[in-house]
Amino acid sequence: MSRLASLLLTTLLCLAAPLVAQAAPLPPDSAYLLEDTYTDQAGQDFLLTDGRGQPRLVAMFYTSCRYICPLIIDSAKGVERALEPEERQRLGILLVSLDPDRDDVAALKSVFDKRRLDAERWTLARTEAAAVRRLAAVLGVRYRPLADGEFNHTSALVLLDADGRVLARTERLGAVPDPEFLAAVKASLADSMTRN
């Protein structure tokens, strides 16, 4: 093989390596194997796997909740504030509604704007009821609708790794993050940095 052909082949292999890595199969315990379509606060459709490649905090909430769900958002903000700026840029935060009948795009956008969330990192989303059940099962979130329109649900932040596997979870809510959960977030961010 000529030197030029060898150089071209090496260049092509180097350029293709990230594509091959991105196309690697998902692990069997990945939340990203769920193929449901979600819609965000801007009305854009996406799949969970679109977030592949970076760690992500995921929680389930509903916009009309007055007590626990605002605390879930505060808890995610607390984790965000505890990170260094370069760490913060690499963490996605996804909140999925338990109430798709009432949480349309306008309701999601209202909470998003009211809470002054950063569109670079935060996504509030809705999906169909069956997809809500599938995601809740993967995340270990239990919920049930109540007669008054409220929901009884597990209040947890769940950390997914870059491939959508559950790495850690906390049900300790508040502006000051759970130290063990925060350590898991930081470790996941460091690990994803070394892979990229």
Q: pLDDT tens for residues 23-64?
A: 689 999 999 999 999 999 999 999 999 999 999 999 999 999
Which residue reads 């898991």 in tokens? Answer: 184
Q: Would 153 be classed as within a structural domain?
A: yes
Residues 105, 119: Cα–Cα separation, whole Å: 14
92 neighbors 194 (Cβ within 8 angstroms): no
- 20 falls within a domain: no
pTM of the model: 0.85
Which residues 6+ apart lie within 8 Å of 139 measured at CB? 31, 58, 60, 156, 158, 166, 169
The tens digit of pLDDT for each residue in 72-100 reads 999 999 999 999 999 999 999 999 999 99
16 within some domain: no
Q: Is residue 2 domain-resident?
A: no
Structural domain contains residue 116: yes
Q: In which domain, by residue range, is 119 found?
A: 25-195
> Which neighbouring-strand residues pair with 110?
none
Tally of domains within the chain: 1
Residue 96 maps to a domain: yes
Q: Do 40 and 123 meet the contact criterion of CB atoms below 8 Å apart?
A: yes
40 lies in some domain: yes
Give the Cα-Cα-Cα angle 95, 97, 102 (nearest 5 degrees): 145
**Range name among 7-11, 72-76, 81-85, 107-111 with the lowest pLDDT average:** 7-11
123 located within any domain: yes
141: domain CATH number is 3.40.30.10
